[in-house]
Amino acid sequence: MGDFTLLSKGRPKREQVEGKVVWITGASRGIGETLAEQFASLGAKLILSARNVIELERVKSKIIVKYPGSNIEILPLDLASGEEDLKGAVNQAESLFAGCGVDYMVHNAAFERPKRKAVEETVEGLQATLKVNVLGPIILTKLLAPFMIKRGGGNFVVMSSAAGKCPAPGQAIYSASKHALHGYFHTLRSELNPKGIKVTVVCPGPIETSKASEAGSSEKRHEKRVTAERCAELTTVAATHGLKEAWISYQPVLLVMYLLQYMPTVGFWLMDKVGGNRLKAAKRKGNTYSWNLLFGEKKRA
Ligand SMILES: NC(=O)c1ccc[n+]([C@@H]2O[C@H](COP(=O)([O-])OP(=O)(O)OC[C@H]3O[C@@H](n4cnc5c(N)ncnc54)[C@H](OP(=O)(O)O)[C@@H]3O)[C@@H](O)[C@H]2O)c1
C-alpha cells in the first residue's frame, strides 16, 4: 500500500520528532486528526489548526486521554483569510511553546468539491479551492520559512494526493491544486536544502476517513481504501526519514502512479480510456477507483 522506498523504511524515527513542535493544519477531523494522534504517540508537541475550534478541542481531549502528558495547543486558522491573518498565526505558532519554534509544518488541510466535469467547474469553486489548497499553504510557508532558516532547520510535510501526480477525471480543479503544490514545494526544497530545510510531499490515493464512510458510502461503492491510521503512520515514516516524496495507496491507483511516473505514454493512454467511465461512475455514485473503469463499469444494485 505504499511505494517501494517508503515501505523499505519500516517504522517512524521517534528521535527525529520527540520533543519537537509539529503544527498540523486540518487537524479537526479525517487524516489530520489521525496524524495528530500519531505525532503525539511519538512524543511531539502539537499545534492543532482548522476553523472549527470545538472539533479541535475534541481532538485535543481525545489525544490527552490516550497519551497523558501530551503538549497540545490549539490555533484556530482559516487558510483563506489572507496574508495579515496568516502572519498573525505564524507569529503565534512560533511563540506557543517557550523556547521552541515550529519544527514540522504539516500542510494537511484541503478543500475538495464533489466530482464533476472540468468544464462544469465554476469560477467560485476554482477560487475557493486554490485559496485553501494552494495560496494558504504557500503564504504560510513563505512566512514560516525565515524562522526555520534562522534556526538552521525545519521540515515541511505536504499532504498532496495521487491526484497531484496523475490526471483525476472528475476532480480537475482539485488535481490542479495538488499539482501546484508539487511545483512549489519541490522547488522550495531545491532552494532551501542548503539551509537545512526538508520537504516531504505525501501522495495518498483513496483513504478511509469519516467523510469517506459517511452513510457507508465507500463500502457501498466497493472502494478499497487505506485506513486513515495507516496513511498517517506512513506519513510519519516518510517525514521522519526525510523522504522527498511518498505514495500511499492500494491498487489500481498505485500502479497508475508508477506508470505515469516511469512510462508516461502508457499512463496517459490508460487515463484517456478511464476518464469518461470515471465520470459516469461518479455520477451514479459507483466505484471511482475500480479496474473496471478501463472497460466501462457494470451497474451495481
Ligand atoms: N481522504 C482521502 O481519500 C484523501 C486522498 C488523498 C489526499 N487527501 C488529502 O489529505 C488531506 C486530508 O484529507 P481528509 O480527507 O482528511 O480531509 P477532510 O476530512 O475534508 O478534512 C479537511 C480538514 O481541512 C480543514 N479545512 C478545510 N478548509 C479549511 C480552511 N479554509 N482553513 C483551515 N482549515 C480548513 C478542515 O477543518 P475545518 O472545517 O474545521 O476548517 C478539516 O480539518 C487533504 O489535503 C486531502 O487533499 C485525502
| Phi-psi sector, 48: left (phi>0), alpha (psi -120 to 50), beta | beta
Residues annotated as catalytic are 174
| CA 206 to ligand 1: nearest atom | 3
Give per-residue pLDDT as tens, 75-97. Answer: 999 999 999 999 999 999 999 99
> Which residues, 6+ apart, have CB-to-CB distance to 221 below 8 Å?
285, 286, 287, 288
Which residues' Cβ are closer than 6 Å to ligand 1? 25-26, 28-32, 50-52, 55, 77-80, 108-112, 132, 159, 161, 204, 206-207, 209, 211-212
Domain 4-263 sits in CATH 3.30.450.40: no
Dist. CA 30 → ligand 1 center (Å):
7
Look at ligand 1, atom 42, and give the residue with the nearest C-alpha: 26
- Other C-beta atoms lying within 10 Å of the C-beta of residue 218: 21
292 burial via Cβ count (<10 Å: 0-12, 13-18, 19+): middle
| CA 159 to ligand 1: nearest atom | 45
- Write down the domain spans for the chain: 4-263
Distance between CA atoms of 138 and 187, rounded to whole angstroms? 12
Question: If we measure between CA atoms, which residue out of 8, 30, 10 comes closest to residue 161?
Answer: 30
Retrieve residue 69's grid coordinates.
Answer: 502528558
Q: Cα dihedral sign for 10, 18, 149, 90?
A: positive
Whether omega before 252 lies within 30 degrees of 0, making that bond cis, reads: yes
Paired with 23 in beta bridges are: 47, 105
Predicted pLDDT of residue 214: 67
Helix 228-240 to helix 30-41 angle, to the nearest 10 degrees?
50
Per-residue pLDDT of the chain (301 residues; tens, 9 = 90+): 899 999 999 999 999 999 999 999 999 999 999 999 999 999 999 999 999 999 999 999 999 999 999 999 999 999 999 999 999 999 999 999 999 999 999 999 999 888 899 999 999 999 999 999 999 999 999 999 999 999 999 999 999 999 999 999 999 999 999 999 999 999 999 999 999 999 999 999 999 998 876 656 777 778 889 999 999 999 999 999 999 999 999 999 999 999 999 999 999 999 999 999 999 999 998 999 998 998 875 555 4
Predicted pLDDT of residue 216: 63
Distance between CA atoms of 274 and 18, rounded to whole angstroms? 44
Question: If we measure between CA atoms, which residue out of 157, 249, 231 comes closest to residue 201?
Answer: 157
Q: What is the dihedral of CA 139, 186, 228, 140, to 10 degrees?
A: -10
Give per-residue pLDDT as tens, 138-187. Answer: 999 999 999 999 999 999 999 999 999 999 999 999 999 999 999 999 99
Question: If we measure between CA atoms, which residue out of 246, 230, 201 comes closest to residue 37?
Answer: 230
Give the single-character DSSP code of 243.
Answer: -
Distance between CA atoms of 288 and 135, rounded to whole angstroms? 28
Predicted pLDDT of residue 301: 43
